[in-house]
Structure 1
């Protein structure tokens, strides 16, 4: 996926990843080695930190003078920030392999790859005071924690919702069936997210409608389960008018009526509502996929103290509130909503709502649902199948 600030997210092909390895060894707080255990203590700031992140995550006022959370960090710590934006998770993984960067904002389709490759280090959350305020339902999750080791601090999160034209799609849908089993009712005007990870959306639907498949996790699909999801998407293909990756194009398609139902993000509906479009969104009964991003530290960082300081700063209530609002997602810190006025629209802190979201996680051969008697389809298989689905 790709993104820009104020909620834009675009799609991209991800690399394959193998099973997560349990790394052994001892780390230090100097950053001179590649620690495989979280550090026990921190020292003096090193005066600089290099960050790679999605656009809109590290703002210093140069893009918009009203949004600057970098300057305050530099003034407080003396750590001068240099930052680089990336456009895809693949690019983030590649950049982290160079060892030239200290901190990365990793999405769930990248984080496990970084852990498996040893490119990021376990994080001692006791050294990050702001971590205490993070919502419990974002902690200790498969995309940020491996074998009990924390690998970062959650940033923001959101659900992939069902967007529909309220004049055309009636009655108001409560199920994803409008874009799957009933897609023929709106043939040619269905839209879907253009990314292999969208296969998980089909799997979520099948979990509810074909329970005999035994799907327990939409990112842990054995060959039979995977083929069922692929077949569903191939059936859907004949009714899809457009696959979208550019959120501006989805907005335009719903404004013109070229699309009347499909997957979306809350920020897109906010834009459409602001422009008077006859659209609405719903989190369907089956649940949905979504994202939760994690700030992670390079295993070869030479600036561990400034890196830890950044993780604490970006997770603090005011900064987390402003940063996630600017991007267009729910914050991760419980107190962040004191600094923004739109948390209700994003269902921030609603654990019941969040429990219905299957957050993007890189599919790997080692089944993420705990099965050991079968091999699951890894992301390379997902990528190949997506090409076949789209034709």
Structure 2
């Protein structure tokens, strides 16, 4: 975020995931593993109903039911993605899950690559554009559902859907309606240098308590994302119970201001707010960081490199994110989109995106057989239902409060725009310039 960027689960770039520029990258050349040739069978899929005119006015998009008949692919597929989410061999010829899809289905993939989550939301909300699908992070997904710019998903037409993690499948449901197919996920951990961070930290207080932050002044690392406010909220939930924080992603104005103060007090002690995971890896590898907010990726890479780091799930709780494929409400090629949903949920494609981007696959079968090494799956908690049940997954902050902490039915919470302003003021020391 030159403006504040969302840093939750988005690979990026034009070279290798950890060393390329752009938005939230993951792996470096050490993780560019050979891509497998995919051979998953694809079923013909449904023709999704599009918005229709009624009485001279457009029917609201995203509210129509999904047709129950199957249809052939239309020969094209237009997708919106952040950099690095879809690989067609352009970054590494061995990493390509687009070409096999095109050859098998006849659906030619065209990509609209956007620079940020804000750009993604803006593009998908343009009523004049008819994108078929979007790989949406949590701060985008909720807004697209609310603005009716994505359509419900008929999960019965995605054969691998029920093989995806049950906890993830419930994250983009409104009532009984499903709006997204899980793609990848991850959690936000506390990592420390075992040589310099003593005693070993086990709480978010290592980053947010003023006395502890001062102890490691100039050696703290934070991810650069408004959603990182949730970790400060988790810290406050335990420290100041009078605030009444329940869901750390549903904060009232008072609660958000309290988290903003914590982050502002922390700012003088922060070495970096990372957008690229490789930057935080370098800081720890060079001994310039002592404690940081990271993903399992950084812990895995540094541990395998023999560096003295340890990742822990803080005592107050672990936050996480899930990115999902969503169908555009004005999709021109819905049949090809459903074939893409089927394809990207398959174990072989899940294996590739996990290896390439350093994320947990939504389909735990990616860890079966010789697809992903056991150490990778253990590090990323793939298939660990007990761990998944403890993760507080991110959702788009909105004025409508969630159900945690007795907040059901209230409308006095803060939305993502307010979170973005709070993040920018706390971590950059000024108002955000649009």
TM-score (norm 2): 0.81
- Residue 136 (structure 1) aligned to one of 162, 166, 170: 166
Q: State the alpha-carbon separation in 2 of the partners of residues 240 and 63 from structure 1.
A: 33
Q: How big is the shift at 1:277?
A: 2.5
Q: State the alpha-carbon separation in 2 of the partners of residues 43 and 384 from structure 1.
A: 45
- 1:292–1:373 Cα change, 3 Å: closer
- 1:255–1:366 Cα change, 3 Å: same
Counterpart in the other structure of 2:117: 89
Counterpart in the other structure of 1:173: 201
Q: How big is the shift at 1:374?
A: 5.0
Q: How does 1:90-169 map to 2 (within 5 A)?
A: 90-98=118-126, 99-141=129-171, 144-169=172-197
Indicate conservation of the 8 Å contact 1:56/1:323, yes or no. Answer: no
Counterpart in the other structure of 2:312: 282
Counterpart in the other structure of 2:34: none
Q: Deviation digits for residues 64-85 of structure 1, max 9, x if unmatched?
A: 1221211221222111112232
Counterpart in the other structure of 2:237: 207
Indicate conservation of the 8 Å contact 1:7/1:329, yes or no. Answer: no
Q: State the alpha-carbon separation in 1 of the partners of residues 285 and 85 from structure 2.
A: 29
- Residue 38 (structure 1) aligned to one of 55, 62, 66: 66
Q: How big is the shift at 1:133?
A: 0.4
Counterpart in the other structure of 1:196: 226
Q: State the alpha-carbon separation in 2 of the partners of residues 35 and 230 from structure 1.
A: 35
Do residues 380 (structure 1) and 384 (structure 2) align?
A: no
Aligned length: 374
Indicate conservation of the 8 Å contact 2:347/2:365, yes or no. Answer: yes
Q: How does 1:283-362 map to 2 (within 5 A)?
A: 283-338=313-368, 339-341=371-373, 342-362=376-396
Q: Let me know the Cα RMSD of the aligned residues.
A: 2.1
Secondary structure at the aligned position of 1:51 is classed as strand
Relative to structure 2, which stretch is displaced further, 107-116 or 276-285?
276-285
Q: State the alpha-carbon separation in 2 of the partners of residues 71 and 266 from structure 1.
A: 29
Counterpart in the other structure of 1:67: 95
Counterpart in the other structure of 1:183: 213
Q: Deviation digits for residues 34-65 of structure 1, max 9, x if unmatched?
A: 45223323311101111122333322223212
Q: How big is the shift at 1:387?
A: 2.4
Q: How big is the shift at 1:203?
A: 0.7
Long gaps (5+) in structure 1:
12-26
- Residue 250 (structure 2) aligned to one of 213, 220, 233: 220
Q: State the alpha-carbon separation in 1 of the partners of residues 366 and 301 from structure 2.
A: 22
Relative to structure 2, which stretch is displaced further, 268-277 or 293-302?
268-277
Do residues 267 (structure 1) and 301 (structure 2) align?
A: no
Q: State the alpha-carbon separation in 2 of the partners of residues 387 and 89 from structure 1.
A: 15
Q: Deviation digits for residues 231-268 of structure 1, max 9, x if unmatched?
A: 22222223223222222221222223222111011212
Q: Deviation digits for residues 169-222 of structure 1, max 9, x if unmatched?
A: 123222111112221221221121222221111011222333332211011111
- Residue 4 (structure 1) aligned to one of 12, 25, 35: 12
Indicate conservation of the 8 Å contact 2:49/2:67, yes or no. Answer: no
Indicate conservation of the 8 Å contact 1:161/1:284, yes or no. Answer: yes
Long gaps (5+) in structure 2:
1-5, 25-45, 53-60, 430-434
Relative to structure 2, which stretch is displaced further, 187-196 or 117-126?
187-196
Q: How big is the shift at 1:107?
A: 0.5
Q: State the alpha-carbon separation in 2 of the partners of residues 91 and 58 from structure 1.
A: 17
Indicate conservation of the 8 Å contact 1:166/1:279, yes or no. Answer: yes
Secondary structure at the aligned position of 2:311 is classed as strand
Q: State the alpha-carbon separation in 1 of the partners of residues 358 and 272 from structure 2.
A: 24
Q: How big is the shift at 1:288?
A: 2.1
Q: How big is the shift at 1:225?
A: 1.7
Indicate conservation of the 8 Å contact 2:185/2:321, yes or no. Answer: yes
Q: State the alpha-carbon separation in 1 of the partners of residues 86 and 313 from structure 2.
A: 30
Q: State the alpha-carbon separation in 2 of the partners of residues 205 and 7 from structure 1.
A: 31
Indicate conservation of the 8 Å contact 2:400/2:410, yes or no. Answer: no
Relative to structure 2, which stretch is displaced further, 300-309 or 169-178?
169-178
